[in-house]
């Protein structure tokens, strides 16, 4: 379980600019194996919140706890997947997937076996020795997802991982992610700007206010799992997507 209480963060101004308050009293609880999507206007602190859970950003006030233990830095129980892939350009697919295992000191045969299994599971069979520059954006993001899963974290922190992809590739990767999670049972916090994506993937959608970010509302999705291919035709999906848009539009109009 992830607990966030009264989380506050302000970034100092540079070159004479005023400080920027990113988070202002965020309270949120994410249950074990829950898939929570963070949705809100640009600049509302979603990425800052993700990085605070990852232990990459220190808070000015409040705390983050995982299973009752305070977060004081990065740990093997958490892995991040970024929008812009963050792959090692000089390393092939297998080496990129196994990078975290190498940092953990896993023997090379073990690393390569695990990387091969994950490459197959994310649809990269035959590309194990290709370099990032030889891959499409969707394939690069499959490598990023496999790399995060390789270290078997309890928690996946995903920062708009499909945001830079075309709609067709995004849908395929959404389906791949859901399929992988049916087997691995991770806790997921997923940042997105897409209402469709939030409802399609999440157990709950957490709406955040414009900067400085606070939690406006957490909305239960309540759609069946595994998600059927035509889930976007369900009246509940359509109604929830429209409700989220109404809330976001009202926030930004105000």
Q: Give the number of domains in the chain.
A: 1
Measured distance CA(235)–CA(52) in Å, rounded: 36
Flag whether 46 is in a domain.
Answer: yes
- The boundaries of the domain holding residue 204 are 1-77+180-254
Say if CB 193 and CB 46 are below 8 A apart. Answer: no
The crossing angle, in degrees rounded to 10, of helices 137-150 and 167-184 is: 20
Rounded-to-integer distance, Cα 227 and Cα 202, Å: 10
pTM listed for this prediction: 0.90
Distance between CA atoms of residues 19 and 22, nearest Å? 10
Per-residue pLDDT tens over the stretch 44-67: 889 999 999 999 999 999 999 999
Instruction: Kindly state the average pLDDT of the residues 228-246.
Output: 93
Nearest CA among 185, 181, 221, 215 for reference residue 200: 221
Angle at 226 between CA 163 and CA 248, to 5 degrees: 40
What is each CA distance from 89 to 2, 43, 130, 133, 219, in whole angstroms? 33, 29, 10, 7, 40
In a domain, 55, yes or no: yes
Average pLDDT over residues 12-41: 88
Residue at 229 is within a domain: yes
Q: How far apart are CA 51 and CA 59, in angstroms?
A: 10
For residues 17 and 46, is the Cβ–Cβ distance under 8 A? no
> Residue 154 falls within a domain, yes or no?
no
- 41: CATH: 3.40.50.300
Residue 184: inside a domain, yes or no? yes
* Residue 130 forms part of a structural domain: no
Tens of pLDDT, residues 123-158: 899 999 999 999 988 899 889 888 988 888 999 999
Q: Is residue 62 a part of any domain in this protein?
A: yes
Q: Which tokens hold the place of 96?
A: 């990129």
CA 39 to the chain's CA centroid: 11
Asked whether residue 161 is domain-assigned, the answer is: no
């Amino acid at each position: 379980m992830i607990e966030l209480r009264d989380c506050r963060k302000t970034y100092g101004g540079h070159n004479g600019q005023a400080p920027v308050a990113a988070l202002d009293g965020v309270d949120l609880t994410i249950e074990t194996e829950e898939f929570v999507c963070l949705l809100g206007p640009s600049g509302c602190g979603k990425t800052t919140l993700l990085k605070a859970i990852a232990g990459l950003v220190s808070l000015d006030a409040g705390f983050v706890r995982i299973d009752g233990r305070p977060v004081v830095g990065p740990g093997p129980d958490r892995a991040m997947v970024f929008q812009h892939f963050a792959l090692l350009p000089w390393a092939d697919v297998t080496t990129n997937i196994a990078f975290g295992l190498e940092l953990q000191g896993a023997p090379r045969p073990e690393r390569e076996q695990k990387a091969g299994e994950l490459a197959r599971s994310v649809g990269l069979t035959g590309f194990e020795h290709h370099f990032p520059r030889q891959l499409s954006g969707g394939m690069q993001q499959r490598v990023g997802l496999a790399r995060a899963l390789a270290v078997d974290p309890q928690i996946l922190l995903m920062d708009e991982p499909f945001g830079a992809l075309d709609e067709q590739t995004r849908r395929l990767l959404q389906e791949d992610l859901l399929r992988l999670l049916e087997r691995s049972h991770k806790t997921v916090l997923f940042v997105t700007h897409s209402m469709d994506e939030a409802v399609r993937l999440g157990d709950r959608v957490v709406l955040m206010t414009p900067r400085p970010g606070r939690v406006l509302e957490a909305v239960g999705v309540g759609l069946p799992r595994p998600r059927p291919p035509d889930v976007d035709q369900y009246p509940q999906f359509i109604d929830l997507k429209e409700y989220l848009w109404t809330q976001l539009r009202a926030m930004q109009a105000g």
